[in-house]
Amino acid sequence: MEKEIVKAWNGKRTDKVPMWLMRQAGRYLPEYREVRAKAGGFLNMVYNPAIAKEITLQPLKRFDLDAAILFSDILVVPHALGLKLAFMEGEGPKLDVVTDATRLNENGFLDRLAPVMDTVAAVKADLPKGKALIGFVGSPWTVASYMVHGEGGHDFALIRNFAKLEPDAFQRIIDVLVRVTISYLDAQVRAGAEAVQVFESWASAVTGDDFKRWVVAPNAAIVAGFKKLHPHVPVIGFPRTAKTDDLLAFDIGCNAIGLSQDVAPEWAAKHLQTRVCVQGNLAPELLLEGGAKMEETAKNICLSLDGGPFVFNLGHGVIKETDPSHVAALVETVHGFKRRALAA
C-alpha cells in the first residue's frame, strides 16, 4: 500500500496532512548532541552507517513524523569528487576552492559514497511501518557556491562574477555536478529511498536569465535524468526564497515544490498546487518561539493549502536552539487538523 506522504507527493489530497521537518535530526535534540560528542565530528557521523542510521531515526522515535530524511549533507558530493571538506565547530563548512572542472575526479565517485548508501539501506530495514525515507542532494548552483567560495556565509560575489566572466568554465563545473548528482540520486533510490528532495538553498542569489541558466536548467536536467531511471519516485524541488516569477519557472517536472516562509500559501494554492504538491512552509523562527502563534500560523497554512496535495514542513531547517517540546506541539497541531470534505 502506498504510504500517505508518498501519495501526497504524488499529487493526491490525503485525508490527513502528512509532515516532516527539514533538519529534523540535529543539534536541537539532546540525543543528537550526545552522539556527536562521542563521534568527534560531523563527517565521522555521516560516513558511519550505524551512527548515521541512529541519527536519521532519532526524530521518529520522539515525534509522529511521516518520513525520515537521510542524515548526511549536500557537501558529500564535492567531497566525493576529491575536494577536501571539513566542518568546523561553530564555523560551518570549509571546502577546497575550485574553478576548474578538470580538478573534479568522477572516477570512483559512487564508491566513495558507499557508506551513505549503506546508511540508506540500514534505515530502510528498520523504518517504522507507514513511514517513508527521503534521500536528497544539493542542486548544482547551491553546491557550486560552496566550491567557488570555499565556505558558506559569503555574499555570492565570487560565484556571480565567475559565472558572468567565465560562463563556459562555470558551465563545465555545473555539468559535472548534474551528471554525478543523477547517479547519486539513482544510487540512493536503489538503496531504499522512496522520495528525493533537491535542495536549491541559494536559489535567490540569481534572478532572471541567470536564474534560468544556473538554477532552472541544471535542476531540470537532474529531474529529467532521474525520472528516466525512476519515473514513479517522487521528486521534491526546494528553490528556497525564489521570487514568485522564478518559482513559476521552476516548474520543471518535480512532483512537489518546497516553499520557504516568504511565499504566501494562498499564492501557492492558486499558482502551484493546481499542478504539483506543495510542501511547507512555517517559519522556523515560529517553531523556536512555540506557543499559540506557532499553532495558529501552522493551522492557517493547513487551511490555505487544504484544497489540494499538501505536505506540511518548515520553510527552512529547525533552528538549533529550538525546544523539542515545540516540535511535539507542532506535530499535534498539524496531525489534528481536520481537512474539509470536498464536493465530489
Q: How far apart are alpha carbons 62 and 331 in whole angstroms? A: 11
User: Looking at 13, 27, 179, 275, which residue is catalytic?
Assistant: 27
69 vs 236 by CB, closer to ligand CP3: 69
Annotated active-site residue 112? The verdict is: no
Query: Minimum distance from CB of 56 to ligand CP3 (Å)?
Result: 8
Q: How far apart are alpha carbons 140 and 122 in whole angstroms? A: 28
Query: Minimum distance from CB of 26 to ligand CP3 (Å)?
Result: 4
Query: Minimum distance from CB of 248 to ligand CP3 (Å)?
Result: 21
Query: Minimum distance from CB of 15 to ligand CP3 (Å)?
Result: 26
Query: Minimum distance from CB of 92 to ligand CP3 (Å)?
Result: 4
198 vs 269 by CB, closer to ligand CP3: 198
- What residues contact 140, with CB distance under 8 A and at least 6 apart? 173, 174, 177, 178, 181, 214, 218, 219, 222
User: Looking at 28, 32, 47, 146, which residue is catalytic?
Assistant: 146
User: Looking at 28, 32, 36, 246, which residue is catalytic?
Assistant: 36
**Pure H helices in the chain:** 4-9, 30-39, 42-46, 49-62, 76-80, 109-112, 114-126, 140-149, 157-165, 167-191, 208-211, 217-229, 244-249, 265-271, 284-289, 291-304, 324-336
Annotated active-site residue 103? The verdict is: no
246 vs 306 by CB, closer to ligand CP3: 246
Q: Which three cell numbers stand for residue 115?
A: 557508506
User: How distant, in Å, are the alpha carbons of 82, 85, 260 from that of 147?
Assistant: 12, 10, 24
- What residues contact 45, with CB distance under 8 A and at least 6 apart? 35, 36, 39, 51, 52, 55, 71
Q: Which three cell numbers stand for residue 316?
A: 527552512
42 vs 337 by CB, closer to ligand CP3: 42
User: Looking at 28, 66, 73, 240, which residue is catalytic?
Assistant: 73
Q: Taking the CA atoms of the chain, what radius of gyration do you get in angstroms?
A: 19
109 vs 146 by CB, closer to ligand CP3: 146
Binding site for ligand CP3 (CB under 6 A): 22-27, 36, 42, 69, 71-75, 87, 92-93, 136, 138, 152, 199, 201, 317
User: How distant, in Å, are the alpha carbons of 154, 187, 207, 252 from that of 118?
Assistant: 33, 10, 38, 30
User: What count of residues does the chain have?
Assistant: 344
By beta carbon distance, the residue nearest ligand CP3 is 201
33 vs 293 by CB, closer to ligand CP3: 33
Annotated active-site residue 73? The verdict is: yes
Query: Minimum distance from CB of 264 to ligand CP3 (Å)?
Result: 21
Q: Which active-site residues does the annotation give? A: 23, 27, 36, 73, 146
